[in-house]
Chains A and B, each alone.
Chain A
Amino acid sequence: MFDISPTEWTAIQLSLRVAIVATLIATPLGIAVAWLLARRDFWGKSAVDALIHLPLVLPPVVTGYLLLLTFGKRGLLGAWLADHLGIVFAFRWTGAALACGVMSFPLLVRPIRLSIEAVDRRLEQAAGTLGAAPWQVFLTITLPLALPGVLAGMVLGFAKAIGEFGATITFVSNIPGETQTISSAIYSLIQTPDGDTAALRLVVVSIAIAMTALVASEAFARRATRRLHGN
């Protein structure tokens, strides 16, 4: 039962790579967006908010298809990126990471935004009177105090990214070794005769990864909270 085949290993490694890259690239962007939504009023703010949450409510297939139209080989941005920067998303693992990043973005942003909103603005004011410019206030006060939320957002985003299926398979298909993640591998195996045992193995692996992420995030959050409240 626990003899994991090379194809399955490839799918596991690819899933981890896709989810880690998606989370690491989405996090700084997510912090910036969360800060804007929490601390700034600007024209079109509710539109930005809605746009970020769209992947949460749209059918994943629709998001995947929109990504294909935009970032595909003949897509608006896809063609330009391929010609000028040599970045190709279509049917590559990078495309899977993009799809996972977009799908997990709302889950990543939300806890970060809430924790930034919870930071006492009077502390930020005090930092200002001590000579800290707004960017220094952000780096030395707001971000460290919001750290538990940032970690929570990263774990949620990672968990979503590693399980993403609909948008990924629509955008980059299901190519073993390139775009076949754990989810799409399970999907393929279920449709193959005698694939049940292999599918089950991958299910166990998924559960293990998810549990590890949750336990790690709990530990991080506990440590961060302890650090904040001084021990």
Chain B
Amino acid sequence: MLRVDVSKQLGEFSIEASFISEGRVTGLFGASGAGKTSLINMIAGLLRPDRGTIAVDTETLDDTSVHIHIPAYRRRIGYVFQDARLFPHLDVRQNLDYGRRMNRLADDAAQRARVMDLLDIGGLLDRRPGKLSGGERQRVALGRALLAQPRLLLLDEPLGSLDEERKVEILPYLVRLRDEAGIPMVYVSHDPDEMRQLATQIVMLKRGRVTAFGGPEVLPATSSPA
């Protein structure tokens, strides 16, 4: 369960958003500039809300009324950024292993094999991020986030920087992830088609406010971005 009730002033722009989602994949849907990224940065702990609470399952991550703010590195919330953000000085194997090392988790060969299999990245292990295609990079970033064993996975337009062909290449992996990995996800996108394929619950955002909440039926019918 993800419970968010926050407000944040960012210059001229303000976010006031409140929702509770039990879905396997919560879709944050809205045009660019609607505040989607700021909202998931708050969930990740990268941005501190001015007021409000954020909770995952029974744990409070932010509660400004009692000055609780768990830093990002203690939240165990995975984050896949639009621009992958693989570490350029580490090869794919080391990138994938990074979260396990930082969290001092035991080496779990079965889990690693499962994730590499799920994302088809077993053949990339010795390469540097600079030598990967955009789609490969995004798959490695997904694997890296998963192997840190998060309790919630945030995906900020993971297909946003890819062309149509690559999107079609990655989307099935995301569907498999949803159905097989068993980790609740928050999926950010401005593409209603992507949302329909992935999200089980939709939070519609407009200028920093939640304008609709519900199943995929709240999405606009056309495939043109909102």
Task: Please give the residue numbers on chain A whose beta carbons come within 8 Å of chain B beta carbons, in ascending order.
Answer: 120, 122-123, 125-134, 136-137, 140-141, 144-145, 227-231
Contacts and interface: CB of A to CB of B under 8 A. Distances in A.
B88 interface: yes
Contacts of A127: 87, 98, 102
For the complex of A and B, list the 6 residue pairs with the smallest distance between their C-beta atoms, beginning with the closest. A230-B128, A130-B99, A129-B79, A126-B85, A131-B103, A132-B102
A125 B72 contact: yes
Size band of the B side of the interface? Answer: 20 to 34
| Most central of B45, B102, B145 by chain A CB within 10 Å | B102
Contacts of B72: 125, 128-129
Nearest to B75: A129
Contact of B73 (A133, A144, A231): A133
A130 B103 CA distance: 8
26 contacts: A120-B85, A125-B72, A126-B85, A128-B45, A128-B71, A128-B73, A129-B73, A129-B75, A129-B78, A129-B145, A130-B148, A131-B74, A131-B103, A131-B148, A133-B102, A134-B73, A136-B73, A144-B89, A227-B89, A228-B88, A228-B89, A229-B88, A229-B128, A230-B88, A230-B127, A230-B128
Contact of A229 (B91, B102, B130): B130
Contacts of B73: 128-134, 136-137
A203 B87 CA distance: 45
A145 B89 contact: yes
A87 B144 CA distance: 50
A230 B92 CA distance: 11
B112 to A, nearest CB: 15
B206 to A, nearest CB: 26
Contacts of B45: 128-129
B83 A141 contact: no
Nearest to A125: B46
Contacts of A134: 73
Interface in B73-108: 73-79, 81, 83, 85, 87-89, 91, 98-99, 102-103
Interface string B116-148: 000000000001111100000000000011001
B44 interface: yes
A121 to B, nearest CB: 10
Contact of A129 (B77, B89, B128): B77
Contact of A136 (B76, B102, B148): B102
Contact of B79 (A126, A132, A144, A227): A126
A230 B88 CA distance: 7
Contacts of B88: 123, 145, 228-230
A228 B90 CA distance: 8
Contacts of B148: 130-131
Contacts of A126: 79, 81, 85, 87
Nearest to B147: A130
A122 B81 CA distance: 9
Interface in B25-77: 44-46, 71-77
B31 to A, nearest CB: 23
A129 B98 CA distance: 11
Contacts of B89: 144-145, 227-228, 230
Contacts of B103: 130-131
A130 B131 contact: no
A231 B75 CA distance: 34
Contacts of A230: 88-89, 91, 127-131
A135 to B, nearest CB: 10
Nearest to A120: B85
| Most central of A125, A133, A136 by chain B CB within 10 Å | A125
Contacts of A132: 73, 98, 102
Contacts of A136: 73, 102
Contact of B46 (A123, A129, A145, A227): A129
Contacts of A137: 73
Contacts of A130: 73, 78, 98-99, 102-103, 144-145, 148
